[in-house]
Amino acid sequence: MKVTIIGTGYVGLVSGVCLAAKGHQVTCVDIRQDIVSCLNAGNPHIYEAGLSELLTQVIESGDFEATTDLTTALDRVDTIIVAVGTPSDGGVIDLSYVRTAVRKIGEYLKNNDRYISIIIKSTVIAGTTDTVVREEIETASGKYHPAFGLGMNPEFLREGEAIDDFMNPDRIVLGYEDPETLERLEALYAPWHVDKVRVNTRTAELIKYANNSLLATQISAANEIANFAAALGNIDIMDVINGVSLDRRWNPILRDGTRLNPAILNYLIPGCGFGGSCFPKDIQALHSQGQELGLTMDITKAVLNVNDVQPLQVANIINSHIKELSNYKILILGLAFKPGTDDVRESASLKIIDSLLKQGATIFAHDPIAATNFSNAMGTEARKITITSEWRHHINDTDIIVIVTKWPEYIDLENINLSGKIIFDTRRMLSIEKVTGAQYFAIGLRQS
């Protein structure tokens, strides 16, 4: 099947490369010639594990190419996927990129009689495809649905694991407004033998938001309970979480007596909050849309409030033992919002470093791949910190070490002499008994 994808960000590029790997002929469209040139040379402009290798493979097979020529790309196909960004603007998603993309498709359709299905993959609030998208195309083309097809195919890709998530999904949601578009979605995903959910487009849109909102709610609930445990004292929240997670409703017992240990349990582990391009933006968007509909949206508001201040727990706990940080050197390990990606959007490190700088601390920071993006995100404030490529070299020079991102290499701290240091493990990455000679802090654990 021939398909054109508009957008080459995390979603568009990963989707395009993976669809090509399944034998479809994919053309990705971007307005930037430098990005297109890099992609056609086999060099992705974003970092994602396995992406570079898979991109090279599909280019060599002839199933993938990138272009800036939208018209030619549309001439080749009957199915178009829109995967442009929908950034947050004051808690409300900005649909300007989506509007621009579908308007150009509408202009193309004005002088073309072929039946083309436009499938939205960008994350948009419920009711966008069958209203905003449809109206933009109708206005630009002078044609009215169902003279063209409309679909919505939400993504469930975790940055750092996006290739595996796309190639081995747990379900695929096929949102459609007309039978022909459903048929094309079925053909597109025919190589995948998993549960497929067939619904109208606004249901498909809400599935994405509901999925992320419930996961985020679980994270914030666990963090609030962890903060309570630390305030009360003489409790390690991980002992509490272990007891909770043995409830068979969380962790079913198989017939042989073993536990299933589902991945959902990972969202019970407390930390310094969720970040990235999806959870914060999606919860804010759902909250804002609910308020526009006259709902109070109390739970989503609470989830956002807990998450907003959670990174500050690091400074608060350190301050409970050290009142004056101006003479302390602190090493921050991890700048990406999660391991496996160079994405720093809504990273806890941004707030943690900002808080510590305001107290006069000297900051060293490390991340294996996200350092440049982090510096760009901090702007002029980046000049106040020292970003290092060799974090081990700074162990002896620092007083406090804070693990913010769970990069595997940081487990090496268990094999380093940390005598006299303070270790703050926000991700519960280290075994407490292996951190010898250091004072160990964590979310949900109060030192006496």
Catalytic center residues: 278
What whole-number distance in Å separates Cα of residue 30 and Cα of residue 8?
Answer: 6
Per-residue DSSP letter, 445 = B
Q: How far is CA 90 from CA 87, 96, 280, 281, 287, in A?
A: 10, 14, 12, 10, 12
Sheet containing strand 439-441, strands side by side? 385-387, 362-366, 329-333, 400-403, 422-425, 439-441
| CB contact at 8 A, 123 and 210 | no
| List of E strands, 213-361 | 329-333
Q: Per DSSP, what are the bridge partners of residue 401?
A: 331, 423
Distance between CA atoms of 448 and 440, rounded to whole angstroms?
11
Torsion, CA 262, CA 191, CA 188, CA 81, rounded to 10: 50
Question: How far is it, in rounded angstroms, from Cα 191 to Cα 205?
Answer: 23
Q: How would you classify the pairing of strands 88-89 and 92-93?
A: antiparallel
Question: % helix / strand / coil in the chain, to the nearest 5?
Answer: 45, 15, 40
